Amino acid sequence: MNKYKVCVYAICKNEAKFIKRWVKSMSEADNIYVLDTGSTDNSVQLLKKYGVITKTEIIKPWRFDVARNISLAMLPEDTDICVCTDLDEVFEEGWRKKLEEIWNDKVDKVKYNYHWSFDEYGKPATTFYIEKIHRLKGYKWLHPVHEVLNVLENEVSILAPNITLNHYPDSTKSRSSYLPLLELSVKEDPEDDRNMHYLGREYMYYGKYNEAIDTLIKHLNLPSSKWDAERCASMRFISRCYINLNRRKEAEMWLKLAIKEASYLREGYVELAQLYTDDKRYEEAYQLLEEAFLIKEKPPIYINESFAWNDYIYELMGIVSYNLKLYSKSLWYMQKAHELNPNNKQIIDNIKLIDKIINNN
């Protein structure tokens, strides 16, 4: 018998392809509520067909926080546990039972595993914890985009490491609304370090490198910018912008600062090693990659990037070792890269080349 009333809530626009899978995953809840924000496909009809309590409202101007708050307001007053998801997300089976086992009347919010992306073999690539399960009273969503729940005074948040939500995004969906919404978010709250970081990153994605550099430096200078992993990421993004502006000395400087800021993360080492490899500074690249490989554990944070943990880092070390004439090591690293990415023709060709050199010696 269930101890608590659990309700799922979400927002939707033209998500018909995901609805059946999503409803099946969320069906462990007592009720599912969806705010449709103007679908032109058959999303609303499908949601109602599968028993989802559905409401339609057009939000102008568009803001994610407004939509989330309207969807949250759809939940009944006797809801004990609110579960916010998107329609391209799927819980692993048994999530409701695991949630009830750890929930109690003193809990405000739950932190759980989120597989944000997967590699081509279906293995999690970027994994971190999120907190979108919460009690009803006292919570609201903040920010026009990259919205977050407000934090309650003396909030009690607990970890549920055995609850996992998987993200399978629609790669065809446009992100075009994100940049103006992030600009609005920073305008509304210029002291919010998180969205300042996101805005700088978005400028980088759009190739607005000077704007990205200026914004990311603003992020680093904010008094609230204290999380070393996110600061490290801002420094790495600044470096990428300088590389694209063909200012490699500045790029190198910022990557060194990134490593110093968060020496427990692989990403800075790998990016600086790639820069050195491109500049044929192989000994320095080799030393950096050796340091990166000493970091054995991948922290559960959204800052993680797959290139520091997948075949890329092994292939890069194979290339560096080859150029230092360390052929046996080069072969070992290339073979490891091949294990992780067996369909990569370049890696296969490299293995054949190195093997030929070793056997001819």
Tell me whether residue 26 is in a domain: yes
What pLDDT is stored for residue 173 in this prediction?
A: 77
Q: Give the separation between CA 121 and CA 140, rounded to whole angstroms.
A: 37
Tell me whether residue 92 is in a domain: yes
Q: Give the separation between CA 218 and CA 193, rounded to whole angstroms.
A: 9
At 101 the three-state DSSP class reads helix
- Cite the DSSP H helix spans in 176-326: 178-188, 193-205, 209-221, 228-244, 248-261, 267-278, 282-293, 311-323
Tell me whether residue 268 is in a domain: no
Tell me whether residue 278 is in a domain: no
For residue 206, the 8-state DSSP code is: T
Confidence of residue 174 (pLDDT cuts 50, 70, 90): confident
For 119-130, what is each residue's pLDDT tens digit?
Answer: 888 888 889 999
CA distances from 283 to 308, 321, 337 (A): 19, 9, 20
For the cut 70, the answer to whether the pLDDT of residue 72 exceeds it is: yes
Nearest to 223 by CA among 188, 259, 190: 190
Tell me whether residue 231 is in a domain: no
What pLDDT is stored for residue 175 in this prediction?
A: 76
Tell me whether residue 197 is in a domain: no
Q: Which residues contact 240 (CB under 8 A, 6 or more apart)?
A: 204, 251, 271
Tell me whether residue 106 is in a domain: yes
- Host domain of residue 20: 6-167
Q: Which residues contact 260 (CB under 8 A, 6 or more apart)?
A: none
Number of domain units in the chain? 1
CA distances from 171 to 23, 77, 144, 175 (A): 21, 36, 22, 10
What CATH number has the domain bearing residue 141?
3.90.550.10
For 235-285, what is each residue's pLDDT tens digit?
Answer: 999 999 999 999 999 999 999 999 999 999 999 999 999 999 999 999 999
Tell me whether residue 52 is in a domain: yes
